[in-house]
């Protein structure tokens, strides 16, 4: 076919239809269930399904008697008529499907009932209309991809009467309901009569973690306690009984003593061990299992007989020791693992470190999982609980050395990716400045402090000594990292926070890292390229240099500088003058670095170093006059500091 005819045939064939790209609804963007740190990260892929694969013909062809023939020229309105015919055919096909009329009416009522901004009275009216349509047909529509949301809306906004009606129609289909791709999104915790044994693990996990209140969570947990506990659990009693149920296992055991208490604890332990011994079923990573484990460990700690405590804790640890990494991503899972670390033996702790070691980087970036790492740094040591002969003493190495080798080195090796997130920065800072209120919230500090009383009983090493050893083990690696990448890291809003803390509190030779930071300042100021400003023009980077020149952080409580014992601000100021040089320092004073130069002057003013005289000679009367006339930010503070050099 000639090229001209090809173009004509293509234009007459009408536009190609593309697949619709559905946008995510607000509900799809809601809260997500926390994922285990052991699960590989899923890479995002682009959907190119609407693009041609290159094998499509360039023209429309008509097959006649097995041969491909060029398309015959059509009427210009043929495409429009064809679309109309296709639409009619599509409607006819939909109408031929079962329950078409019911679905059409239900969708019409649903569009009104599911609006979020409706007044309660108006919504109730629409829900009643919707219920009138689907009554008797719930089982027919709940499994359909385009109709299951109709039932979900009634369950969400309807009353107890509507939910009871839906539950009666779904009776006997609960297992199928939970396993179906579409109906599993139905909030089963609001549908009476559906108990956890009939719910698939993913549905149960989502219901527990995302949708339930305290009372509903206690109802989901009670099956872990065994049949005896379930028989004595009141599901619809007085408010006092409801409050008791909200306490979980603690509420169940209130007033229960003797053999019955042991039977409930044994049932919970057996259920947990059954899950831990079958990790391939996926239940180990669910928050409801972690809550049950935390309740069990907390209750074990209340037993007066220490030998019994140790026995029960040992049994549960031996069953879950290989799957602990699956638990650290939830609040209760993190608490449980930290409890096992604190109360475990040296051998137990070594096994825990081995289990979490492959996932250190992911743990550093997770709010809950990183607390496990911090606890390991705070607690782990080979404490000799029983005297041993000198012949076996070599077997008990310093536990801090084990931690440094297994955890600290892994954290430092991931520093380049960690400093880019707030969680990762905390993990790096904890190595040199643990529990500092500048970077850790009071809630986080209190959580970590919960172990201190137990640590005093299980550890023979002073906490300050252990912190110093961890800091010493981490310092060389962190300082080398800054020496290599400090110029780029310090330009980042969060990266400069890590750099500042490492420089102030790490141990060892900091000269190479200091030179890297100061060479970054020696570039032309102000920078000729606005897209890549001078470091001093970045407020966060400027504050970092000011803090280093001052020798520590400013305390708002005492209104003074808190000097860092392991940092020499005087040496840094001396190198500042040597490396940055006259032209840049004077330009900084005239531009946006007045506060930094003022801190430099104040640091050198009290010394007899040659650099003090050199700096004084650079700021002649003419330069001071220019600074005064510019009246820039911090110029008055700088002029006052320059007087101290006289």
Residues 90-118 pLDDT 10s: 766 666 665 666 777 778 778 888 887 88
Listed residue (556, 543, 544) closest to 634, CA to CA: 543
- Choosing from 164, 193, 222, the residue where a domain stops is 193
Does residue 401 surpass a pLDDT of 70? no
Q: What is the pLDDT of residue 57?
A: 39
The half-sphere exposure of 398 on its side-chain side, counting CA atoms within 13 A, is 12
Q: In terms of pLDDT, which residue wins out, 585 or 49?
A: 585
Q: What secondary structure, in 3-state letters, does 210-271 show?
A: HHCCHHHHHHHHHHHHCHHHHHCCCCCCCHHHHHHHHCCHHHHCCCCCHHHHHHHHHHHHHH
Q: Give the tens place of pLDDT for each residue, 379-397.
A: 886 433 333 333 333 333 4
Average of per-residue pLDDT across 467-472: 91
Residue 138 C-beta-side C-alpha neighbours within 13 Å: 25
- Whether 66 is in a domain gets the answer no
Of 60-74, 127-141, 340-354, 469-483, which range is least confident?
Answer: 60-74
Assigned token pair, 567 = 């940092």
State the alpha helices, DSSP H only, in 301-420.
Answer: 306-320, 331-343, 346-356, 360-364, 369-379, 399-403, 409-413, 415-418
pLDDT of 28 strictly over 60: no
Does residue 411 sit in helix, strand or coil? helix
User: Is 272 or 212 the better-scoring residue by pLDDT?
Assistant: 272
The pLDDT, as a whole number, for residue 95 is: 60
Q: Is 385 or 530 the better-scoring residue by pLDDT?
A: 530
Query: Can you give the pLDDT at residue 492?
Result: 96
Please, what is the Cα angle at 324 between 319 and 329, to 5 degrees? 145
Pair 113, 129: CB distance under 8 Å: yes
State the pLDDT at residue 507: 95
Number of domains forming the structure of the chain: 2
pLDDT of residue 196: 42
Q: What are phi and psi of 142, to 5 degrees?
A: -70, -25
Q: Which of 193, 210, 235 is the last residue of a domain?
A: 193
pLDDT score, position 263? 92
Q: Which two tokens stand for residue 329?
A: 């991503």
Give the residue-averaged pLDDT of 141-148: 75
**Residue 548, pLDDT score:** 97
> Is a pLDDT exceeding 60 seen at residue 143?
yes
Average pLDDT over every residue of 564-589: 95
Using DSSP, state whether 32 is helix, strand or coil.
coil
pLDDT exceeds 70 at position 628: yes
Asked if residue 545 lies in contact with residue 519, where contact means CB atoms within 8 angstroms, the answer is no
* Residue 441, pLDDT score: 94
Residue 103 lies in a domain: yes
Confidence class of residue 151 from pLDDT cuts 50, 70 and 90?
confident
Neighbours of 362 (CB within 10 A): 22
461 vs 306 pLDDT, higher one: 306
284, 327 contact by CB (below 8 A)? yes
Question: Looking at residues 44-58, what average pLDDT do you find?
Answer: 40
CB 424 within 8 A of CB 413: no
**How high is the pLDDT of residue 14?**
44
Span of 116-125, 515-524, 569-578 with lowest mean pLDDT: 116-125
- Higher local confidence (pLDDT), 350 or 398: 350
Average confidence (pLDDT) over 534-561:
95
Mean pLDDT comparison of 34-43, 151-160, 508-517, 590-599, highest-scoring range: 508-517
Q: Which two tokens stand for residue 32?
A: 């997500």
Q: Alpha helix (H) ranges present in 97-212?
A: 100-113, 120-134, 138-141, 148-157, 160-170, 174-179, 201-206
Distances (CA, A) of 386 to 389, 395, 429, 458: 10, 14, 35, 12
**pLDDT, tens digit, for every residue of 301-358?**
999 999 999 999 999 999 999 999 999 999 999 999 999 999 998 899 989 999 999 9
Domain boundary (152, 169, 193) is at: 193
Asked if the model's pLDDT at residue 526 lies above 90, the reply is: no
- Average per-residue pLDDT in the chain? 81
The predicted structure's pLDDT at residue 558: 92
Residue 555 domain-assigned (yes or no): yes
Report the distance separating Cα 540 and Cα 359, nearest Å. Answer: 32
In a domain, 258, yes or no: no
What's the pLDDT at 513?
97
How many other CB atoms are found less than 10 A from the CB of residue 20?
A: 7
- Tokens for 305? 């007989």
pLDDT confidence tier of residue 86, bands split at 50, 70 and 90: confident
Average pLDDT, stretch 38-46?
Answer: 58
Q: Give the percent of the chain with pLDDT over 90.
A: 44
Q: Flag whether pLDDT at 166 surpasses 60.
A: yes
pLDDT at 217: 86
pLDDT top residue among 377 and 9: 377
Element (H, E) at 6: helix 3-12
pTM: 0.72
Question: Mean pLDDT across the stretch 37-48?
Answer: 57
Domain assignment present for residue 451? The answer is no
Residue 597 lies in a domain: yes
Q: What percent of the chain has pLDDT over 70?
A: 77
For residue 164, is it within any domain?
yes
Provide the residue range defining the domain that includes 111: 96-193
pLDDT given for residue 632 in this prediction = 79
Q: Which residues pair with 512 in a beta bridge?
A: none
pLDDT of 43 over the 50 cut: no
Q: Does some domain include residue 508? A: no
Provide the pLDDT for residue 342: 93
Q: What is the pLDDT of residues 416-438, one digit of tens each?
A: 999 999 999 999 999 999 999 99
Higher pLDDT, residue 561 or 208:
561
Whether pLDDT at 605 is above 60: yes
Compute the distance between CA of residue 413 and CA of residue 434 in angstroms, rounded to an integer. 19
């Amino acid at each position: 076919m000639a090229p001209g005819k090809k173009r004509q045939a293509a234009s007459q064939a009408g536009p190609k239809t593309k697949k619709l790209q559905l946008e995510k609804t607000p509900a799809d963007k809601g809260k997500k269930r926390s994922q285990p740190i052991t699960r590989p990260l899923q890479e995002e892929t682009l959907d190119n399904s609407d693009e041609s694969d290159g094998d499509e013909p360039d023209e429309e062809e008509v097959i006649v008697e097995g041969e491909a023939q060029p398309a015959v020229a059509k009427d210009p309105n043929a495409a429009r008529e064809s679309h109309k015919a296709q639409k009619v055919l599509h409607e006819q096909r939909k109408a031929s499907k079962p329950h078409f009329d019911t679905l059409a009416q239900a969708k019409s009522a649903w569009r009104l009932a599911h609006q979020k901004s409706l007044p309660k009275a108006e919504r109730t009216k629409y829900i009643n209309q919707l219920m009138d349509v689907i009554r008797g047909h719930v089982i027919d529509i709940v499994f359909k991809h385009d109709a299951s949301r109709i039932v979900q809306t009634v369950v969400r906004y309807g009353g107890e009467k509507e939910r009871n009606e839906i539950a009666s129609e779904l009776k006997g289909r609960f297992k199928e309901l939970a396993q179906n791709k579409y109906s599993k999104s139905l909030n089963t915790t609001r549908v009476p009569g559906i108990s956890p044994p009939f719910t698939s693990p993913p549905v149960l996990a989502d219901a527990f973690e995302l949708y339930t209140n305290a009372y509903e969570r206690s109802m989901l947990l009670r099956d872990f306690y065994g049949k005896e506990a379930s028989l004595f659990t009141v599901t619809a009693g007085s408010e006092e009984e409801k409050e008791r149920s909200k306490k979980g296992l603690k509420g169940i055991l209130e007033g229960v003593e003797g053999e019955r208490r042991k039977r409930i604890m044994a049932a919970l332990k057996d259920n947990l061990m059954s899950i831990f011994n079958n990790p391939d079923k996926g239940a180990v990573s669910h928050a409801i299992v972690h809550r049950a484990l935390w309740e069990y460990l907390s209750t074990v700690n209340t037993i007066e007989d220490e030998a019994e405590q140790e026995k029960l804790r040992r049994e549960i640890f031996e069953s879950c020791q290989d799957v602990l990494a699956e638990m650290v991503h939830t609040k209760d899972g993190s608490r449980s693992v930290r409890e096992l670390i604190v109360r475990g033996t040296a051998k137990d702790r070594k096994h825990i470190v081995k289990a979490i070691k492959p996932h250190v980087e992911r743990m550093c970036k997770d709010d809950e999982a990183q607390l496990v790492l911090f606890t390991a740094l705070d607690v782990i040591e080979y404490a000799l609980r029983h005297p041993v002969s000198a012949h076996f003493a070599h077997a008990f190495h310093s536990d801090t050395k084990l931690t440094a080798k297994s955890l600290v080195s892994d954290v430092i090796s991931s520093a380049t990716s960690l400093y880019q997130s707030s969680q990762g920065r905390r993990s790096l800072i904890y190595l040199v400045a643990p529990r500092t209120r500048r970077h850790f919230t009071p809630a986080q500090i209190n959580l970590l402090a919960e172990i201190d009383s137990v640590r005093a009983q299980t550890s023979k090493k002073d906490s300050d000594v252990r912190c110093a050893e961890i800091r010493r083990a981490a310092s060389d690696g962190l300082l080398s990292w800054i020496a290599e990448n400090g110029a780029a890291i310090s330009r980042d809003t969060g990266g400069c926070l890590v750099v500042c803390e490492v420089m102030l509190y790490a141990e060892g030779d900091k000269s190479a890292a200091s030179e890297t930071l100061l060479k970054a300042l020696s570039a032309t100021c102000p920078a000729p390229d606005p897209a890549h400003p001078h470091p001093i023009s970045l407020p966060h980077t400027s504050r970092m240099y000011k803090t280093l020149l001052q020798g520590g952080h400013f305390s708002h409580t005492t209104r003074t500088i808190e000097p860092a014992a392991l940092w020499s601000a005087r040496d840094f100021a001396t190198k500042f003058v040597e490396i940055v040089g006259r032209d840049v320092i004077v330009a900084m004073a005239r531009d946006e670095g007045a506060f930094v130069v003022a801190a430099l002057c104040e640091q050198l003013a009290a010394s007899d170093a040659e650099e003090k005289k050199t700096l004084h000679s650079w700021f002649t009367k003419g330069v001071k006059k220019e600074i005064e006339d510019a009246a820039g930010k911090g110029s008055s503070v700088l002029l006052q500091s320059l007087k101290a050099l006289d």
